[in-house]
Amino acid sequence: MTIEQRPLGRTGIHVSRFGLGAMVLGAWGNRDRAACLRIINKTLDAGINLIDTADMYADGENEEIVGEAITGRRDDVVLCTKFHYAVGDHDDPNRRGNSRRWIRQAVDDSLRRLGTDRIDLYQVHRPDPTTDIAETVAALDDLITAGKILAWGTSTFPAEQIVLAHWAAERRGQVGPHTEQPPYSILSRGIERDVLPITERFGMGVVVWSPLSGGWLTGKYSRSSPPPAGSRAATDPEHFDGGNEAKFDAVEQLSAIAAEAGVSLTHMAIAWCVEHPAVTTALIGPKTEQQLDDLLGAAELRLDADTLDAIDTVVAPGIDINPADAGWTSPGLSASRRRRPR
């Protein structure tokens, strides 16, 4: 198996066409630690070199698992993690967000859990409207100077916030974001309207998450039967749009396109994500070794023009079937921001 290596924006770092999204390894998914370690090492053995985690996944346990797994092979890994959310159950506003104060603590905590002296790509997990973006940019620039991180990026930022980050960096002669990590799948194509053109404009790498749209594009969900045990729809129904008829319709049509192309829906979906010229890497998130084996089957798959055109007839470019799949809602839409003071 040969997995294509691609430049990660203008960082000079090369990463595999698919990366490992480690979120479900640990308390948020597979609680068998030995199995999680095997999954990570098997992924690396297959030629995938990018591993993505975050400090808040299972309150830091996920970073610890990743750190343990890559012991002895750290130089083979492009290690990515994120900060922004609270780690642990607390309501301290100073232990979350994108402030310099929290970034300084969060990066040291992540380095300790990961068992390493540097993070290859440190990502801002979400925008923080309470913090001046210039403060965040300056703090991350300092971490690059200190050698604690090699590059930094944003995650699930709207296009205008990405532009503001670059402007803030340019005004002060600092390093702007090297990458963006947005949600992207056949069912959620909103980033094609503005985010991807902006990342191309600034020469950024793009690492996309949820290429299977939370499991929808595995074909495992049916109108006529309950969701499988252990699936996202079963374990987290409040955050899964299981009654979305438009998605059921789309998945049925996409399944027929995949069958015509002679591939599985799962393989077609993840291969489709990396066909976009602005996308560097798509994150796969296997919970089991069996799932990993299946996903690796798409490592060398390329989709022809007829298949890509057929997909566009089901979900048009730039369309999110469910706007909530964009992953972030502007606080400007809250009721308090829409009402005049009385």
Write out pLDDT tens, residues 22-46.
999 999 999 999 999 999 999 999 9
180 beta partners: 154, 206
Nearest to 271 by CA among 300, 294, 292, 242: 300
So what's the pLDDT on residue 230?
Answer: 67
Mean pLDDT of the chain: 94
So what's the pLDDT on residue 336?
Answer: 80
So what's the pLDDT on residue 236?
Answer: 66
For residues 217-229, average pLDDT:
79
So what's the pLDDT on residue 339?
Answer: 73
So what's the pLDDT on residue 338?
Answer: 75
So what's the pLDDT on residue 235?
Answer: 64
Strands 5-7 and 14-16: antiparallel
For residues 225-250, average pLDDT:
76
So what's the pLDDT on residue 240?
Answer: 76
34 contacts 289 by C-beta, under 8 angstroms: no
The pLDDT confidence band at residue 237, using thresholds 50, 70 and 90, is: low
So what's the pLDDT on residue 238?
Answer: 61
For a pLDDT cut of 90, what percent of the chain falls above it? 88
Q: Does the pLDDT of residue 242 top 60, yes or no?
A: yes
Nearest to 63 by CA among 133, 113, 4, 116: 113
So what's the pLDDT on residue 211?
Answer: 98
Amino acid at 254: L
Is residue 57 part of the annotated active site? The answer reads yes
Write out pLDDT tens, residues 151-163.
999 999 999 999 9
Higher model confidence: residue 235 or residue 306? 306
The active-site residue out of 57, 122, 184, 221 is 57
> Domain residues of the chain, as ranges?
5-338
18 contacts 282 by C-beta, under 8 angstroms: yes
So what's the pLDDT on residue 282?
Answer: 98
Give the C-alpha separation, 183 to 140, whole Å: 23
Write out pLDDT tens, residues 106-146.
999 999 999 999 999 999 999 999 999 999 999 999 999 99
So what's the pLDDT on residue 43?
Answer: 98
Domain 5-338 has CATH 3.20.20.100: yes
In Å, how far from its chain's centre is CA 318? Answer: 18
The pTM of the full predicted model, rounded to 2 decimals, is 0.95
Write out pLDDT tens, residues 248-303.
999 999 999 999 999 999 999 999 999 999 999 999 999 999 999 999 999 999 99
The pLDDT confidence band at residue 177, using thresholds 50, 70 and 90, is: very high
For residues 301-324, average pLDDT:
97
User: b/e map of 1-27 (b: 16 or more CB within 10 Å)?
Assistant: eebeebebbebebebbbbbbbbbbbbe
Q: Does the pLDDT of residue 342 top 60, yes or no?
A: no
